[in-house]
Amino acid sequence: MEKLSPEKIFNKTFSYVFLKMLMPLGSLVVSLITMKIISGIAGGEVGIVGTAIWLVITIAFAFGLNFFLGYKFKASHMAVVTDAVSVGMIPDDMNAMAKESVEYRFPSCNEFLAYSNLVKPAINQLQKNLNTFDERRMRVPVLGQLLKLCQVFVGMALSFTFDLVLGYTFWRDGKPLYTSAADGVAIYYNSWRRITENVMFLALEIIVSMVVVFVFIFAIMAAMLAPSYGPVAGGFLGAGVAYFFCSTVKVFIDSRLSIRLMTSFFEEAQYAEITPDDYAYICRASSKYNKLFQKAQNEPREQRPQPQDNIQ
């Protein structure tokens, strides 16, 4: 099977990356418009009440947009990428293939939210166990706190791991949804060094750079907006602009990294043998994964037929 390069897959599927990037940009536009309207009603400085109203509207819109549309763009992208990596070709009709695959796995946003609420916490909790020291052995309290901070950054930097597991749920192996998710997390946990070789520290460098950029944009925007909207509203709006800007850039970076690692992830998955002892060990390492595993054990074994596009 001829393999497509990650760069070619990224370029061919960039329309989905662009749609994912529109989510934080759309939220930013609505946030700015909302602040302008509230400022107009208040006649100048927004104040604490106006800022609270703006914050609620901004968060609600961003959550709603990602809840009803964002999951489709993310899942559709991973469905197409999975097909491209596993079959070795881009589907002739990407949109039709993605629509069919996403509707098969996630008929509604509620199903995707339930899936995310099980998989993401399991990944985040297990990520803390990867290549870290035991905090209880850190006799110096300051070093222990620094280790915790480092683990937080590593978890944020490796947020694209969810994309790998999400892609695995679209792999045409006949497994039910949560069984596939539990196996995908276990495969990553057992083989993370090989999968993310030379990438983890790059990802960590990226997230640290994002923090620096966030602080820089926040400082500039807050200083510019404070005279018009007041110090409280200007500060929050400056933070919102910085957050949505960094989120947009991170979507682009995460998409490239997840596509780059998808091939090695599927190579591990193709030959992976997860033993009962493996499941037991990972369940002990993460209570969140244990919930995902129990969900997998309780789901029906019989599934409706999978989409047949491009199966080899």
Q: What pLDDT digit, counting tens, does each position of 49-92 carry? A: 999 999 999 999 999 998 889 999 999 999 999 989 888 888 88
- What's residue 135's pLDDT? 47
Assign residue 75 a region: left if phi > 0, alpha if psi is -120 to 50, beta otherwise? alpha
Burial class (CB in 10 A: 0-12, 13-18, 19+), 130: middle
Nearest to 3 by CA among 213, 270, 217: 270
Quickly state the pLDDT bin for 127 (edges 50, 70, 90). confident
Beta-carbon neighbour count of residue 14 at 10 Å?
14
pLDDT at 310: 42
Radius of gyration for the chain, computed over Cα atoms and rounded to the nearest angstrom: 21
Q: What is the rounded distance in angstroms from the CA atom of residue 255 to the CA atom of residue 277? A: 33
Distance CA 143, CA 189 (A): 25
Distances in Å between the Cα of 130 and the Cα atoms of 35, 235, 277 are: 42, 37, 18
Lowest mean pLDDT among 80-94, 118-132, 282-296: 118-132
Model confidence at 302, pLDDT cuts 50, 70, 90, reads low
In the DSSP assignment, the letter for residue 36 is H
CA 167 to chain centre: 12
pLDDT recorded at residue 137: 46
- Residue 3 has which token pair? 């393999």
**pLDDT > 90? residue 283:** yes
Sign of CA dihedral 33, 38, 39, 40: positive
Q: How many CB atoms lie within 10 A of CB 113?
A: 14
Structure tokens at 182: 């539990």
Helix (H, G, I), strand (E, B) or coil at 15: helix
**215 pLDDT more than 90:** yes
pLDDT tens per residue, range 9-52: 999 999 999 999 999 999 999 999 999 999 888 877 788 899 99
- Decide: 173 and 162 in contact? Cβ < 8 Å: no
User: Per the structure block, which two tokens stand in for 107?
Assistant: 């008929």
CA 192 to chain centre: 17
For residue 82, the one-letter residue type is T
CA distance 225 to 234: 5
Measured CA distances, 283 to 95, 141, 162, 289 (Å) = 37, 29, 18, 6
Please say whether the beta carbons of 217 and 241 come within 8 A: yes
Residue with tokens 């493996």: 278
